Amino acid sequence: MVLDPPLASPLIGRLAIIGIGLIGSSMLRAARARKLAGTLVAYDGSEGVRARTGALDIADLVAATPAEAVADADMVVLCVPVGAMGAVAEMIGPHLKAGAIVSDVGSVKGAVLNALRAHLPEGVHVIPGHPVAGTEYSGPDAGFATLFQNRWCILTPPEGTDEAALAALSGLWTAMGANVETMSVEHHDLVLAITSHVPHLIAYNIVGTAADLEEVTQSEVIKYSAGGFRDFTRIAASDPTMWRDVFLNNREAVIEVLGRFTEDLIALQRAIRWAEGDKLFDLFTRTRAIRRSIIEIGQETAAPDFGRERG
């Protein structure tokens, strides 16, 4: 998978990325590879991450402070944990120029929009965003320029959003290879609770249960991990700070979906207890069709073992 060739002229004059983890460093790499910005600025709260970002040479400037990072920026993208959005917005707010576009990459949108609105000045265009892409790895070395290729990026523009600002942000994500969709913050948070947040919670829980059983099984849970459990461990290896903040900031939607999941799980338990094979077969047939649909729209591979290389 490769990016399209560089643009003849940049889409954005000065682009600032705050938070240089997997997503932030991938944005910098993609923007640099395609020359999407006249000047690429990076900032991270960790001195070590700033030093590493400079060594990787993925930005034109690694700023020493948030104020320096956003000074004269035409667009600012916050790639920090959801729980840190308010604090970062408060730091950069006084230093943003009028007309700047401020977005983010968090997987919760309602809480983020409220946090940004509380601290950013009038005249700044606030458009939350969420690239539905990632791996279990984090840090500036984890990024790669093609992370967003053929992945969805959901934008949740508030009512009254400036159309030119929305087009500029959408254009950036499209140029990095993403398919852009727009929806309300409320709809986004419910959809992501179903497709991402609750699945992660289930993965954390089942891996935690297995860890509790290790003593009893003399580590056989780990030794004999088959594909199903191994895939859960991949999800459960995701950044703990990020996911703690996701669940705390999308409580209502997560609890609603968990309630439905619990009801369905009890029904499944009953079907197994009473040997209701037809019910089990019908459920497994429906879920298999969903898997095929995901493959058909290009969001996963049909390769054996999920495309893993065999050692």
CA angle, residues 246, 249, 255, in degrees to nearest 5: 90
* Nearest alpha-carbon partner for 151 in 189, 116, 195, 110: 195
Average model confidence (pLDDT) across the chain: 90
Q: Give residue 296's domain range.
A: 187-300
What is the reported pLDDT for 229?
78
In a domain, 147, yes or no: yes
What is the reported pLDDT for 206?
85
| Alpha carbon 135 to its chain's center | 9
Q: Measured over all CA atoms, what is the biggest interatomic distance in the chain, rounded to whole angstroms?
A: 67
Q: Do residues 164 and 27 share a domain?
A: yes
In a domain, 231, yes or no: yes
Which tens digit of pLDDT belongs to each residue from 280-292? 999 888 888 877 7
Q: What is the pTM of this model?
A: 0.83
What is the reported pLDDT for 306?
46
Angle of helix 240-249 versus helix 198-217 axis, rounded to 10? 130
Please indicate whether residue 294 or residue 201 has the higher confidence score (pLDDT): 201
In a domain, 7, yes or no: no
In the numeric block, which tokens belong to residue 134? 């990632």
Give the total number of structural domains in the chain: 2
139-153, 161-175, 207-221, 228-242: which range is least confident on average? Answer: 207-221
Residue 178 has pLDDT above 60, yes or no: yes
Q: Do residues 175 and 207 share a domain?
A: no
In a domain, 306, yes or no: no
Do β-strands 12-18 and 179-182 pair in parallel, antiparallel, or remain unpaired? unpaired
Containing 286, the helix (H) or strand (E) segment is helix 277-296
Q: How confident is the model at residue 216 (pLDDT cuts 50, 70, 90)?
A: low
In a domain, 260, yes or no: yes
Look-up of token digits 């956003």? 70
Q: Do residues 53 and 128 share a domain?
A: yes
**Average pLDDT for 231-246:** 84
Q: Do residues 172 and 200 share a domain?
A: no
Q: Do residues 132 and 231 share a domain?
A: no
Which tens digit of pLDDT belongs to each residue from 57-100? 999 999 999 999 999 999 999 999 999 999 999 999 999 999 99
What is the reported pLDDT for 39?
98
Which tens digit of pLDDT belongs to each residue from 104-119? 999 999 999 999 999 9
In a domain, 148, yes or no: yes
Q: Do residues 75 and 173 share a domain?
A: yes
